[in-house]
C-alpha cells in the first residue's frame, strides 16, 4: 500500500514536471518574443542598444544595462503567462487559492529563478567574463548571431529546474491533489 502511494506520487510528480516543462517551453517562447520585440522597439525608436548603460550601480564600475531591463520585462510577461497555464493545466486537479494569492508566491519563486537567469545572462553578455559568448561568433549581425537572444535562451534553460523546485515546494505547496482514485480498502 505504501509503495503504491509512493509510485502514484512519483508518477504524479513526473507528470507535473512534464507539464511544467511544456508550460515553461511556451513561456520561453513568450519570453524570447518579448525580448525580440522590446529590443527592436528600443533600436528603432530610441536607437538604444541592449549593451547601453541604463543605470550605474551606486557610483561603482558596475552598471545595469538595457539588456537587464529587457530581460526583466520579458520575465514579467512570461511569468504571468506561465502562472495562468500552470494554474489551469499543470496543477488543475489541486485545490487553489484566489488568483492573486497564488500569483504572488509564484512570482516570488520566479524572481528567485530570474535572479539566477540574470546572473547567467550577465556572465554570457559581458565580454570580460570567462563565460562570455564569443563575440566573433555572436557579433549581433543577424538574429541567430545576436548575443542577447542566445544569452536569454541559455539563462532560461539554466533557471528552469530551479523554478520548478521552488514552485513545487513553495508556491503550490498548500495545494493538495483532489484524489478520485478509489483506495483498495473502499468497497467498489
Per residue in 114-138, pLDDT (tens digit) is 999 999 999 999 989 999 999 999 9
pLDDT-based confidence at 175, cuts 50/70/90?
low
What is the average pLDDT across 164-188? 56
The C-alpha atoms of residue 76 and residue 182 are separated, in whole angstroms, by 41
pTM of the predicted protein model: 0.77
pLDDT-based confidence at 182, cuts 50/70/90?
very low
The C-alpha atoms of residue 24 and residue 37 are separated, in whole angstroms, by 19
pLDDT-based confidence at 33, cuts 50/70/90?
very high
The C-alpha atoms of residue 171 and residue 165 are separated, in whole angstroms, by 10
C-alpha distances (whole Å) from 84 to each of 24, 87, 181 are 11, 5, 26
| 112 close to 162: Cβ distance less than 8 angstroms | yes
C-alpha distances (whole Å) from 85 to each of 72, 92, 114 are 20, 9, 19
Among left, alpha and beta (phi > 0; psi -120 to 50; other), residue 58 is: left
Torsions phi, psi of 184, nearest 5? Answer: -65, -20
Domain boundaries, the chain: 2-171
The C-alpha atoms of residue 42 and residue 110 are separated, in whole angstroms, by 25
The C-alpha atoms of residue 152 and residue 70 are separated, in whole angstroms, by 10
pLDDT of 158 strictly over 80: yes
Residue 58: helix, strand or coil by DSSP?
coil
Share of the chain above pLDDT 70, in %: 90
Amino acid at each position: 500500500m505504501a509503495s503504491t502511494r509512493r509510485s502514484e506520487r512519483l508518477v504524479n510528480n513526473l507528470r507535473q514536471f512534464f507539464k511544467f516543462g511544456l508550460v515553461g517551453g511556451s513561456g520561453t517562447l513568450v519570453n524570447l518574443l518579448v525580448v525580440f520585440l522590446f529590443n527592436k522597439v528600443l533600436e528603432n525608436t530610441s536607437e538604444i542598444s541592449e549593451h547601453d548603460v541604463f543605470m550605474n550601480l551606486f557610483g561603482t564600475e558596475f552598471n545595469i544595462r538595457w539588456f537587464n531591463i529587457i530581460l526583466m520585462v520579458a520575465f514579467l510577461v512570461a511569468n504571468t503567462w506561465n502562472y495562468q497555464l500552470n494554474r489551469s493545466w499543470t496543477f488543475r486537479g489541486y485545490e487553489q487559492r484566489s488568483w492573486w494569492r497564488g500569483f504572488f508566491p509564484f512570482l516570488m519563486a520566479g524572481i528567485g529563478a530570474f535572479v539566477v537567469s540574470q546572473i547567467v545572462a550577465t556572465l554570457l553578455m559581458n565580454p570580460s567574463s570567462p563565460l562570455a559568448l564569443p563575440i566573433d561568433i555572436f557579433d549581433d549581425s543577424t538574429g541567430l548571431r545576436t548575443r542577447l537572444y542566445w544569452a536569454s535562451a541559455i539563462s532560461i534553460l539554466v533557471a528552469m529546474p530551479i523554478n520548478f523546485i521552488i514552485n513545487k515546494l513553495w508556491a503550490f505547496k498548500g495545494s493538495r491533489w483532489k484524489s478520485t482514485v478509489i483506495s483498495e480498502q473502499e468497497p467498489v
